Structure 1
Amino acid sequence: MTAAPRPTRIVVVTGAPGAGKTETGRRLVRRYNLPAALIDTDTVADIYPWNADERLYAVLGRNLRSCLAAYRDWGARVVVVSGVLLPGRSLDQFRDLLDDPSLEWVFYGLRAGPDELAARIRTDPKVQDAGGRLAWSHLDGEVPSVPGVRLIDTRTRTVDEVTDLIATREAAELGPAAVTAGVTRPFHAARPPVPDAAVPVRTTRVPAPDGPVPPRGDGHPGVLWVEPAEAVRVCRTALVRLGFPAKTAETTAVDLVAAETHGMPSHGLLRVAEYAAAIDAGHLDPTAEPVVTRTGAGAWLVDGRHAPGVVVRRSLTDTLARADTGGPVAVGLRAAGHLGRLSPLAREVASAGLALVGFVNYCGAGQKVAPAGGSSGMWATNPVVLGCPAPPGPPVIADMSTSTVAEGVIRSALLNGGSVPPGLLVGPDGEPVTDPRLLYTSPPQAAILPAAGHKGHSWGAFVEILAGVVAGAGHPADPRLPGNGGLFLAFRVDAFGRSESEVARAITGIEALLRSSAKDPAHPPPRLPGRGPRPGAEVAFPVPVDVWTRLLDPLGAVVTTPALSSTEGQLP
């Protein structure tokens, strides 16, 4: 039996004069890796004298129908139409085609205020009279009346950024190989476009907690393969839009992308949506600077003032470095933004010849980890970080949650549309669950298990006691605003009478002993933590389409897609 031909996708970019439809359409059509064509209504309805009346709409309708038929005969899978197509006006010429099962209509509505439209029209080299176009600026208010339109606020976006948003949405519905999404060049030149037939997708769709999400395109969100440099650029731009100073945005973007290239997406780009929510809730101040206060002999307190994690980490590093000349240092931390991976902090401290022991909590919030024998959240994931210099090799570092996994691992599985292995989550009845959505329902229907049962529970409890109680950051019985608190100890490795070189040689001896214990030549020998091979930082990595969409639109100006709404309001 022959399969029915796939419908031709008609992608309409509509809006008032000056919204940027023509240039967006020209750039968008080049993003498709399928046979595609462009119809610009300015060229098929360019009559003189020009007057927007029924005669013009009729001419436009006949010409568009002819062009559309010709392009379909040619083999177009996608036809991009840019122009002022609105109900009660020119769109009425196509009422019958909107119900044609061989056509799949999608509408993107570009919005802009009157000042932006006027400024664009006055500098636009189009042949149409600028005064006449200005008289139609009020059509911006009619754009939301287009059935099923996906609105895009263009007031603070370049044409490339608007094109990025539409292309990303198209990739989510047609498949990531069918559309070059997110940037104006291919993510990965080694991945050729798929010209026809089935477009491969890499992930499964995530239903909403209260029921299935209606299918979208092929029913999968998909992933995009992103080059690190491009990811840094897009992430930096998103953070600046959220209010991060340029330098802080750059450092944060580099840090998040480094997590991705090191195989830790749980601490990568998905965090930008979390930062946006935290700013909106008043839990993160992107322009704040920490305040450091001496509280005793060798004791200091860093008040993060809800500043971004990379800014707080710099204050922590500088304060802990005092141990290089003034004896051991203990540093308490309160009210920090998300610190992210702790291994960079340990690496920076160890590079100064200092050993580090650190405990980080979530200020008593984020109670997603069950205690030993329990089935509801009590602790946050409460990581512990340890570092020790061992020149000439890299420092020995351990950065680990006291739960079975970091919470971001569960969230990453949710965004990728997959399940998690048994043994990570427990349901209210004490039975294992593998559905990551259950951690984010209200109330939660799952909790993360502590690492190694009662051992991880004990570590998690001590983190709350040391960071939350002793350092005063907040704990589950007295929670503060969500953020990171901590307690850190730093001291020189020669503080106990052994020289740095003696310590380094001893660590090298331990490492040699580990390597000699290898039994299976087919597997790498055991190693000290933090001394494994470093992943390549220039290799493209996969990003869920929904995560990339949020990066391109961190303020949420685009109409939420079903895949985004499946977790909307549930991310901690």
Structure 2
Amino acid sequence: MNVPHERVRAQIEVILQSWGMAPDLLATTVEAMVETDLLGVDSHGISMLMTYEKRWHEGTLKLQVHPRIEKQTACTALVDGGAGLGHPVSAFGMNLAVDMAKAAGVGIVGVRNSHHFGAAGVYARIAARRGAIGMVTSATRGVTMVPTRGAAPVLGTNPLAFAAPAKRHPPFVLDMATTTTAAGKVKVYDLNNRQLPSGWVLDAKGQPVTDPKQGFDIVFNQPEGGLSPLGGSPEMASAKGYGLAMMVHILGGTLVGSSFSPIRNRTQKPGDPDDIGHFFMAIDPAAFRAPGEFENDLDDVIDVMHATPAADPSKPVLVAGDPEEAERQRRLRDGIPIPASLDTLIRGICERSGAAYLLS
């Protein structure tokens, strides 16, 4: 069924309220989760509530603690996420980075002691809306990526997002996993019982898996097999994707002092937080160009890309951010699709938490 975004917003809100989340943290989280679903990133919006419920019941997720700046210079800051959901501290971190960029030309904020933050592109868009270039990376909790020549996963789907403001066009927004696909997309294919594209998930022998339930089990439950690195094959392309994932973890994990999942999974005690790290960078174009020149030039670049002759005239050339913006307009008009299997899971959360069920 397609559900109006206002109803999805209300459903997420009453569930988080039932868990006792602080009102200001709740508002930021709901906004980020609904925006994620509107953009068509179904793996990281309302469908994440089951995971958040599990972390909350385990005691690893704190819903009352606010982000705290641990150290700060003119253009850098390190923020403690307080073991809370990653959405509030990520919005805080990116806005802080933009504030510093407006004053010093560039701002860089590292976050430690956080949890899952949804879609990286949501936070990169914050910078673009405020007239800055934004870049976001993050470590992950899950260990799902099989390295080049490997048979067992080591890294997560470490995301990378980049956004740049234009004037006539929507911002350029690249939002990607460093695996061939995000782990959450495998979950979405399982929820919808859709066959997986070959090459997304590999078994313990490195062979592609297309059955959605088998793929889900490999990615989320089994110690061998997993997601292929960005580039899949041949080996050199796969190695570059694996190297990109390492780069993202270095910025979003090692630099800020957060955990590396394979090590944490061996040492984590019951009740320990996930300690996920994030990285936010903002650049003020006015530090390099006269006001408006950067945005005008980016508009011209996007115009050239859109004017490129299409191999298929029915499928015009797109730039990063176009598909998500088009999907956002569709979903604002027609609603957010909720598969029956996901609806059943949300009903279960409502029953367990005492929150009202509001999706239909």
Q: Which range, TM-score by smaller chain?
A: 0.7 to 0.9
C-alpha contact (below 8 Å) 1:302/1:315 kept by paired residues? no
- The separation in 2 between residues aligned to 1:500 and 1:424, in whole angstroms, is 43
- 1:470: how far off? 1.4
Q: Does 1:547 align with 2:332?
A: no
User: What residue in structure 2 maps to residue 334 of structure 1?
Assistant: 112
Inter-CA distance 437–489: structure 2 relative to 1 (3 Å threshold): closer
- The separation in 2 between residues aligned to 1:538 and 1:285, in whole angstroms, is 35
User: What residue in structure 2 maps to residue 538 of structure 1?
Assistant: 333
TM-score by length of 2: 0.84
- 1:440: how far off? 5.0
- The separation in 2 between residues aligned to 1:230 and 1:554, in whole angstroms, is 16
Unpaired runs of at least 5, structure 2: 232-237, 354-360
User: What residue in structure 2 maps to residue 263 of structure 1?
Assistant: 40
C-alpha contact (below 8 Å) 2:90/2:278 kept by paired residues? no
**Correspondence for 2:148 among 369, 372, 375:** 372
- The separation in 1 between residues aligned to 2:260 and 2:349, in whole angstroms, is 30
Q: Does 1:227 align with 2:4?
A: yes
User: What residue in structure 2 maps to residue 32 of structure 1?
Assistant: none
User: What residue in structure 2 maps to residue 350 of structure 1?
Assistant: 128
Aligned counterparts, 1:78-89, within 5 A: none
Find the residue that maps to 1:553 and give its secondary structure: helix
C-alpha contact (below 8 Å) 1:403/1:451 kept by paired residues? yes
- 1:520: how far off? 4.3
Structure with higher Rg: it is 1
Q: Comparing both structures, which one devotes a greater share of its residues to helix? A: 2
1:191-214 CA distance string (max 9 Å, x none): xxxxxxxxxxxxxxxxxxxxxxxx
Amino acid at match of 2:285: V
C-alpha contact (below 8 Å) 1:242/1:554 kept by paired residues? no
Amino acid at match of 1:342: A
Inter-CA distance 521–438: structure 2 relative to 1 (3 Å threshold): closer
User: What residue in structure 1 maps to residue 18 of structure 2?
Assistant: 241
User: What residue in structure 2 maps to residue 513 of structure 1?
Assistant: 304
- 1:444: how far off? 3.5
C-alpha contact (below 8 Å) 1:419/1:436 kept by paired residues? no
User: What residue in structure 2 maps to residue 489 of structure 1?
Assistant: 281
Q: Does 1:273 align with 2:50?
A: yes
User: What residue in structure 2 maps to residue 526 of structure 1?
Assistant: 317
- The separation in 1 between residues aligned to 2:183 and 2:261, in whole angstroms, is 17
Find the residue that maps to 1:461 and give its secondary structure: helix
Inter-CA distance 225–245: structure 2 relative to 1 (3 Å threshold): same
Amino acid at match of 1:552: R
Unpaired runs of at least 5, structure 1: 1-223, 559-572
1:454-513 CA distance string (max 9 Å, x none): 2211110111222221111122464374253122222211323x2242212221221222
The farther-off stretch of 267-276 and 352-361 is: 352-361
How many residues align? The count is 332
User: What residue in structure 2 maps to residue 181 of structure 1?
Assistant: none
User: What residue in structure 2 maps to residue 89 of structure 1?
Assistant: none
Inter-CA distance 555–413: structure 2 relative to 1 (3 Å threshold): same
- The separation in 1 between residues aligned to 2:218 and 2:229, in whole angstroms, is 14
- The separation in 2 between residues aligned to 1:254 and 1:469, in whole angstroms, is 29
- 1:429: how far off? 0.8
Q: Does 1:415 align with 2:200?
A: no
- The separation in 1 between residues aligned to 2:261 and 2:25, in whole angstroms, is 30
C-alpha contact (below 8 Å) 2:9/2:30 kept by paired residues? yes
Inter-CA distance 520–287: structure 2 relative to 1 (3 Å threshold): same
Find the residue that maps to 1:300 and give its secondary structure: strand
User: What residue in structure 2 maps to residue 462 of structure 1?
Assistant: 247
User: What residue in structure 2 maps to residue 384 of structure 1?
Assistant: 160
- The separation in 2 between residues aligned to 1:448 and 1:227, in whole angstroms, is 33
Q: Does 1:436 align with 2:193?
A: no
1:249-277 CA distance string (max 9 Å, x none): 44433433333333221112211111111
1:207-237 CA distance string (max 9 Å, x none): xxxxxxxxxxxxxxxxx44332222222221
Across the aligned residues of Structure 1 and Structure 2, the Cα RMSD in angstroms comes to 2.4
Percent of aligned positions that are identical: 23
User: What residue in structure 2 maps to residue 120 of structure 1?
Assistant: none
Amino acid at match of 1:528: V
User: What residue in structure 2 maps to residue 447 of structure 1?
Assistant: 226
- The separation in 2 between residues aligned to 1:246 and 1:302, in whole angstroms, is 20
TM-score by length of 1: 0.54
User: What residue in structure 2 maps to residue 44 of structure 1?
Assistant: none
Q: Does 1:359 align with 2:137?
A: yes
- 1:423: how far off? 0.7
User: What residue in structure 2 maps to residue 317 of structure 1?
Assistant: 94
Amino acid at match of 2:321: G
Aligned counterparts, 1:170-249, within 5 A: 224-249=1-26
